Amino acid sequence: MILIDGKKAAAELRQELKHEVTGLKAKYNKVPGLTVILIGDLTPSQIYVRNKEKSANEVGLKSEVIKYPDSVEEKTVLEKIKELNKDETVSGILVQLPLPKHIDKQKVIETILPSKDVDGFHPTNVGNLSSGYESSVPCTPLGCYLLIKKVEPNLNGKKAVIVGRSNLNGKPMTQLLLKENCTVTITHSKTKDLKAECLEADIIVAAVGIPELVKGDWVKKDTIVIDVGINKTDKGIVGDVDFDEVSKNAKALTPVPGGVGPMTIACLLKNTIECFKRTQI
């Protein structure tokens, strides 16, 4: 079985991006800039943002974190986003989710210029992705896609089963694999026989949030299994895939941690650079 090393893949991607940033700096005499807005003091969000800033610095991006307390008014955040939309030194804007209840997530997402939407959540980018046009692609599914392509560069005609239909993971994952000519089945909590669906798959992407949902006897030999889940349990952090069981059957499998997670941040940097390049003439 191939253990898909997301840490290594992310380090390689960061290295490529670092070279690219050096080239862009030489060509344009400026570097792409990423601005992250962090609201409140949730520990996981703080850790994510710190890691994003560290990785952005590592590849040579200009990086900035704007922090607000939980009590910040929605209009203050929206005004700041509008200001950043006009700032030419800012290529990408990311507002770390989740947001406090009094702030409307959709309003925040839609205030970010689509051309600076490094998370790929703006409806314009969602529409462009599903129409097959150029767009920012949400970072986690993009990371999954790059990991799958490392194992299997030609996905023509493969049967992919996506477990979970969130806007963040399942839906964009579907679009990326459709573009690669996979036959895609998207499953969710109302799917009648998830095991039977998974047993048909050459590729399974599990993004559910239920510890070890995907069992060993749900996976046929030669399947590539990507585990997006991050679940805190008594035995530590586990994914949505039963790693011990599935590793006996699968052709390739991502571990949790050390699989999809590191690629998510590397893809954020990639998206920032893509946003920068699209605005240069």
For ligand NAP, the closer of residues 5 and 87 by Cβ is: 5
What is the per-residue DSSP string for the chain? -EE--HHHHHHHHHHHHHHHHHHHHHHHSS--EEEEEEES--HHHHHHHHHHHHHHHHHT-EEEEEEE-TT--HHHHHHHHHHHHH-TT--EEEEPSS--TTS-HHHHHHHS-GGGBTT--SHHHHHHHHHT-S----HHHHHHHHHHHHH-S--TT-EEEEE---TTTHHHHHHHHHHTT-EEEEE-TT-S-HHHHHHT-SEEEE-S--TT-B-GGGS-TT-EEEE---EEETTEEE-SB-HHHHTTT-SEE--SSSSHHHHHHHHHHHHHHHHHHHH--
Residue range at the interface with ligand NAP (CB under 6 A); choices 24-32, 34-42, 71-79, 187-195? 187-195
Q: 117 forms bridges with which residues in the sheet?
A: 93
CB of 161 to ligand NAP, least distance (A): 10
CB of 200 to ligand NAP, least distance (A): 15
Residue range at the interface with ligand NAP (CB under 6 A); choices 99-107, 122-130, 190-198, 269-277? 190-198
d(CA 234, CA 227): 19
CB of 211 to ligand NAP, least distance (A): 9
Q: For residue 207, state whether it binds ligand NAP (rule: CB under 6 A).
A: yes
Residues 247 to 266 in contact with ligand NAP, rule: CB under 6 A = 260-261, 264
Q: For residue 198, state whether it binds ligand NAP (rule: CB under 6 A).
A: no
Catalytic annotation, pick one of 117, 119, 227, 240: 119
Respond yes or no: is residue 116 known to be catalytic: no
| Residue from 228, 238, 252, 269 in contact with ligand NAP (CB under 6 A) | 228
Respond yes or no: is residue 119 known to be catalytic: yes
CB of 78 to ligand NAP, least distance (A): 24
Q: For residue 214, state whether it binds ligand NAP (rule: CB under 6 A).
A: no
Please check whether residue 272 is in contact with residue 117, taking contact to mean a CB–CB distance below 8 angstroms.
no
Q: 227 forms bridges with which residues in the sheet?
A: 206
CB of 23 to ligand NAP, least distance (A): 28
Residue 122-151 contact track with ligand NAP, rule CB under 6 A, x = bound: ------------------x-----------
Respond yes or no: is residue 280 known to be catalytic: no
Q: How many residues interact with ligand NAP (rule CB under 6 A)?
A: 25
| Residue from 35, 187, 249, 271 in contact with ligand NAP (CB under 6 A) | 187
CB of 209 to ligand NAP, least distance (A): 4
Nearest to 263 by CA among 5, 40, 41, 1: 5
Catalytic residues: 52, 96, 119
Q: Given the rule CB under 6 A, which residues bind ligand NAP? A: 140, 163-166, 168-170, 187-191, 194, 207-210, 228-231, 260-261, 264
